[in-house]
Amino acid sequence: MNYFSSDFKLGILGGGQLGKMLLNETRKFDIYTCVLDANNEAPCKIGSHEFHLGSLMDFETVYQFGKQVDVLTIEIENVNVDALDKLEKEGVKVYPSSDTLRIIQNKATQKLFYIDHNLPTAPFSRFAYKSEIKDTIENGGLKFPFVWKATQFGYDGTGVKVVRSLDDLELLPKGECIAEELIPFKKELSVIVARNIKGEIKTFPVVEMEFHPEANQVEYVICPARIDSEIAKKAEHIALKTSDALKHVGLLAVELFLTQSDDIIINEVAPRPHNSGHQTIEANYTSQFEQHIRAILNLPFGSTASKVGGIMVNLVGEEGHEGNVVYEHIEEIMNMEGVTPHIYGKKKTRPFRKMGHVTIVHEDINEARIIAEKVKNTIKVISK
């Protein structure tokens, strides 16, 4: 198949920042792209050859869009999998497959998959309704504190909450959920695995994630992770085992907990480019976005090795600010060595909304972490 400067069409479901960064790579290779998103001001609108407006959860919209392309991929998991299933049966290549997405879309199904495939994960209980949790607590089947997770549609810190009391429970939305044992972990790690149609695999170096205590969002991604090589190997082994079990095509970000006893357990996975791989644009020989394109088109993989230590800082909307966005002190951070801002193109900010990220590269990862802190404390995402 001739993908380059041809009439081949790649479809992307979702027009957010991950799609925008995928489009940087398709532009580099001159691959024709069509994007579907429900937001007429989506970041992808400017970079795609064709922008289609419509709901990713609507069967007919996704089906009709998919019929117009040769290969279909995603930049968000919340899409209509029944439409993807039908498209696959009709010969459209869909990566990751509808089968993979069905497992990952629902956190309860995802957790049961780990247990069925002997993959280590935190103990959990599944509830059809929030009210069932209270009964289980009263009967001694569940103890505080625990982690509540909505089974569907959670993202960027929404749909996840540490529950320490019945009062915390009252504030949560109703609906299907899981209650997970709270793991007192030392570090949160992530491994991104690329897998192509032939089943060939390549992993990116293990990264460490530092989270915002209130927003439950990643504040810093640090590569290489500050762990010893044996733990890194263990993390990579579990990520590869997870990838093999899911048989995904494209990228799989495997988020992991490093426990106090140096065990590695799976938190959750995402079958697409991921926040924990943004630093690869500047810090690695091949970015996660280019590798995703190579994987879904069955092209040879690029080297995933790091050229230099890299840290990613998320740019999120400041609390108390909502409306047209302003990036305050951006010139100051651009004046720092090894610092590259990425602005996603969202016109409106709100508290904790992901608006961009900044990469800091440095030979010394500890020095990069100091600069990252300066970046975080300098640039502010506010409204007019």
Residue 176: the pLDDT is 93
Quote the pLDDT of residue 289: 98
The pLDDT of residue 45 is 95
Name the residue with tokens 């090589």. Answer: 229
Q: Looking at residue 159, what is its pLDDT? A: 86
Q: Determine the pLDDT at residue 170.
A: 87
Q: What is the pLDDT of residue 384?
A: 85
Q: What pLDDT sits at residue 212? A: 77
- Residues tagged in the binding site annotation for ATP: 107, 149, 180-183, 188, 267-268
87-146 pLDDT, tens digit each: 999 999 999 999 999 999 999 999 999 999 999 999 999 999 888 999 999 988 999 999
- Residue ranges in the chain whose pLDDT is less than 50: none
DSSP 131-198: HHHHHHHHTTS--SSEEEEESSS--TTTTEEEE-SHHHHHTS--SSEEEEEPP-EEEEEEEEEEE-TT
Numbered residues of the known binding site:
107, 149, 180-183, 188, 267-268
Domains of the chain: 9-94 (3.40.50.20), 123-181 (3.30.1490.20), 185-383 (3.30.470.20)
Residue 185: per-residue pLDDT:
93
